[in-house]
Amino acid sequence: MNHLWRYLNYLIIGLIICTAAYLLIFNPAKFLNLDGRRDGIIKNVRQNAQTPEIVAWQQANPAGQAQDPNALNGADPYGQFYDPGAPQAQPGTQGVYAPQLDTNPVNQAPAAAVPPATTSPAVSPIEMVLQEGHWIGLETIPLTPAIAAANGVPASVSGVLIDEVTLVAANSGILAGDVITAINDVPVTDLSTFRAATMPVANAKRATVTVYRAGALNKFTVEAVDVLGIAQMEAAPMILPSDTAPHGYYGPCTKCHAISKTVKNTGQLAKDAGDVLTVVPPPIKWGAAPPHRDRGQCTNCHKII
């Protein structure tokens, strides 16, 4: 009888081991309760969803697609924060859950209504002192006595100084530091005459640019794929009425500057390609699934709760 009980115990233990092995091999998520553990993580994160960091993050990113500030220009497919409130996709190739847009209408921020276009009244042109000229990849500036002396240009040379070269001009051999003295033999003495000299060749594909370089005059043929166009001019930056003068008195401000009527228009974009567009990383709970692939030490960006 004792032998029978012993064999029966061995049989029961063997069945338990086989059952556990079967579940672990063929259905590990259910056996280990990974879905339940993940749901618990999501529940814990949602319970902390009213912290100031989360509120700021959700206001800035109502769709749950905030960009990882360490991602390279958004090119990294895993450089996105994990949104616990959004429906989840299957695990990605890097072992993380790829965020999806929250399609629940309740959670969607209302789309901002675009007002109909308005037409501003025509304004009379105002002639201002020019600061820069742009043409076929050239950026030109006035050749003042101080700038001429700093760049080794004799006082007898007149024209506009090239301080940046790209596109057609760069391919033609023109260099930064050259002084444009003529375009198709039309003399250039300042930015106004520089713009005027580009008008006759605006619809042409080829022109000859005469420049002063290292004590000699050189002629370069510039050729565009389409047309050369007319040089575009820039004046001094727009300023606010309350701005302090950045320099000594040069006469009325409107001689060089446009005056902004509101702080919302300062003549420059607040965020452009040269700025780092950042968002506040949300806090993460200790032991939670990583919101993105390895970016280094978590505490460098996130608050651990």
Check: pTM over 0.85? Answer yes or no.
no
In this predicted structure, what is the pLDDT of residue 1?
61
Does residue 37 lie in a domain region? Answer: no
Does residue 142 lie in a domain region? Answer: yes
**Is the torsion defined by CA of 107, 108, 110, 112 positive or negative?**
positive
Output 244 or 93, whichever has higher pLDDT: 244
Give the residue carrying structure tokens 């228009």: 265
In this predicted structure, what is the pLDDT of residue 297?
83
Give the residue carrying structure tokens 């999501």: 42
The band of 207, judged by pLDDT with boundaries at 50, 70 and 90, is very high
CA distance 96 to 252: 61
The band of 210, judged by pLDDT with boundaries at 50, 70 and 90, is very high
Across residues 284-304, what is the average pLDDT? 84
| pLDDT tens figures, 235-286 | 888 888 888 887 888 888 888 888 887 777 767 776 766 666 666 788 888 8
In this predicted structure, what is the pLDDT of residue 3?
66
Total structural domains in the chain?
1
Per the rule left: phi > 0, alpha: psi between -120 and 50, beta: everything else, 105 is alpha
Does residue 305 lie in a domain region? Answer: no
Does residue 280 lie in a domain region? Answer: no
Does residue 222 lie in a domain region? Answer: yes
Does residue 204 lie in a domain region? Answer: yes
| pLDDT tens figures, 68-90 | 444 333 333 334 444 444 444 44
CA distance 64 to 101: 6
Across residues 32-38, what is the average pLDDT? 50
Output 56 or 221, whichever has higher pLDDT: 221
Does residue 246 lie in a domain region? Answer: no
| pLDDT tens figures, 147-199 | 999 999 999 999 999 999 999 999 999 999 999 999 999 999 999 999 999 99
In this predicted structure, what is the pLDDT of residue 88?
41
| pLDDT tens figures, 4-19 | 777 777 788 878 887 7
* Type and span of the H or E element at 211: strand 206-213
Range(s) of the domain holding residue 195:
130-235
In this predicted structure, what is the pLDDT of residue 110?
62
Half-sphere exposure (Cβ direction) of 138: Cα atoms closer than 13 Å: 32
CATH code at 195? 2.30.42.60
